[in-house]
């Protein structure tokens, strides 16, 4: 089963008509031979003078304030499209990350907003603790680009300690797992990394993690992951975890979940506008997964 060409064109029209510029430039990059320069400029539109990224880079907040998570997201996107370099990371990103590093050596997931902008309630009550989901991918990217700076020593110790502390408690979050894997793939401590990856595989397959009920409206959304969330391509570290039949069934369900206007939807959003932004993010993700598995008709 493949996404038909007409349904693909509907998805394209939805992104171009409703998504943020960043998703539109990413669509151009992945599907229309666009260059990464456009992606870079769309990402840097979210950058502040302190070097961090804000302005609702995740659409659950309209606050312009810099946030560690949003800055990680910017770094990940530029890495994804091949725009990063060791020099850019050290010059444009590390001063901000070092400024928000905690005594434990890691960086927080989020900082509590100081301004009064619309946002989801969980932003208002965030605990400003160092987090694995932000510190691990930053370390992984530094290792990937052969950056060696003093900041990494304490951060790495923090990351290993966090893996030992939280164990399986957050494996349902398919947004966090790829960030952990960025570190585990590129760390020089591969013996430790292989042990953690082995544990991750066991925990992901434990009862109650994967959403096997395809009639559930939340299938593929937060806390209700399926195989493609963990293995968005056959090159993914966790791809071997799933039977081919499972991957194929989830690809078919993903295709079936496309709406009449071309979008793949979420329940996220603090306004009608941000609901469209989230749908643009989800639609781009769905198209990328289908492309990775050659499930779009030419």
Each residue's pLDDT tens digit, 237-270: 999 999 999 999 999 999 999 999 999 999 999 9
Ramachandran sector of residue 19 (left: φ over 0; alpha: ψ -120 to 50; beta: rest) = beta
Cα 98 from Cα 283, distance rounded (Å): 34
Per-residue pLDDT tens over the stretch 29-44: 999 999 999 999 999 9
Angle ∠(167,229,12) on CA atoms, nearest 5:
150
- From 158, 89, 156, select the one nearest 130 (Cα to Cα): 158
The pLDDT value given to residue 3: 98
- From 89, 63, 87, 65, select the one nearest 76 (Cα to Cα): 89
Cα 48 from Cα 184, distance rounded (Å): 30
- From 223, 224, 221, 180, select the one nearest 199 (Cα to Cα): 180
Per-residue pLDDT tens over the stretch 140-199: 999 999 999 999 999 999 999 999 999 998 899 989 999 999 999 999 999 999 999 999
β partners of residue 61: 119
The pLDDT value given to residue 4: 98
The pLDDT value given to residue 122: 84
Task: Tell me what the pLDDT averaged over the chain comes to.
Answer: 96
Task: Say if residues 36 and 251 touch (Cβ distance below 8 Å).
Answer: no
The pLDDT value given to residue 114: 84
The pLDDT value given to residue 224: 94
DSSP structure string for 74-110: HHHHHHHTT---HHHIIIIIHHHHHHT--TTS--BS-
pLDDT of 15 above 90: yes
Task: Say if residues 79 and 137 touch (Cβ distance below 8 Å).
Answer: no
pLDDT of 113 above 90: no
Query: Lowest-confidence range among 40-49, 55-64, 70-79?
Result: 55-64
The pLDDT value given to residue 170: 86
Q: Which letter does DSSP use for residue 128 in this model?
A: -
Check: pTM over 0.85? Answer yes or no: yes
The pLDDT value given to residue 151: 98
- From 165, 107, 167, select the one nearest 141 (Cα to Cα): 107
pLDDT of 123 above 90: no
The pLDDT value given to residue 28: 98
- From 240, 234, 213, 233, select the one nearest 224 (Cα to Cα): 213
Cα 132 from Cα 148, distance rounded (Å): 20
- From 235, 130, 238, 147, select the one nearest 188 (Cα to Cα): 147
**Residue 115 pLDDT grade (very low, low, confident, very high; cuts 50, 70, 90):** confident
Token representation of residue 52 = 């961090």
Cα 243 from Cα 82, distance rounded (Å): 31
Cα 274 from Cα 62, distance rounded (Å): 9
Per the model's pLDDT, the better-predicted residue between 89 and 124 turns out to be: 89
- From 108, 94, 117, select the one nearest 274 (Cα to Cα): 117
The pLDDT value given to residue 47: 98
């Amino acid at each position: 089963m493949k996404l038909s060409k007409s349904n693909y064109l509907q998805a394209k029209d939805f992104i171009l008509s409703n998504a943020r510029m960043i998703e539109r430039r990413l669509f151009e990059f992945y599907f229309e031979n666009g260059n990464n320069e456009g992606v870079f400029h769309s990402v840097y539109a979210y950058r502040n003078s302190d070097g961090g990224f804000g302005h609702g880079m995740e659409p659950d907040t309209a606050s312009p304030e810099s946030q560690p998570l949003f800055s990680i997201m910017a770094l990940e996107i530029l890495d994804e499209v091949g725009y990063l370099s060791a020099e850019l990371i050290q010059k444009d990103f590390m001063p901000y990350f070092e400024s928000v590093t905690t005594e434990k050596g890691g960086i927080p997931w989020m900082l509590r907003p100081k301004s009064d902008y619309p946002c989801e309630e969980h932003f208002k009550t965030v605990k400003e603790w160092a987090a694995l989901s932000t510190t691990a991918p930053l370390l992984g990217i530094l290792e990937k680009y052969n950056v060696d700076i003093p900041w990494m020593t304490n951060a790495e110790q923090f990351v290993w300690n966090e893996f030992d502390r939280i164990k399986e408690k957050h494996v349902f979050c398919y947004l966090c797992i790829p960030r952990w894997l960025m570190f585990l793939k590129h760390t020089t401590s591969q013996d430790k990394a292989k042990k953690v990856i082995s544990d991750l595989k066991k925990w992901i397959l434990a009862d109650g993690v994967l959403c096997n009920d395809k009639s559930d409206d939340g299938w593929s959304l937060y806390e209700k992951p399926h195989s493609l969330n963990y293995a968005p391509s056959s090159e993914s570290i966790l791809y071997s975890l799933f039977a081919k039949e499972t991957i194929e069934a989830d690809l078919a369900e993903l295709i079936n979940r496309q709406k009449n206007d071309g979008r793949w939807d979420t329940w996220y959003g603090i306004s009608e506008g941000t609901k469209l932004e989230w749908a643009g993010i989800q639609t781009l993700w769905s198209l990328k997964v289908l492309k990775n598995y050659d499930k779009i008709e030419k």
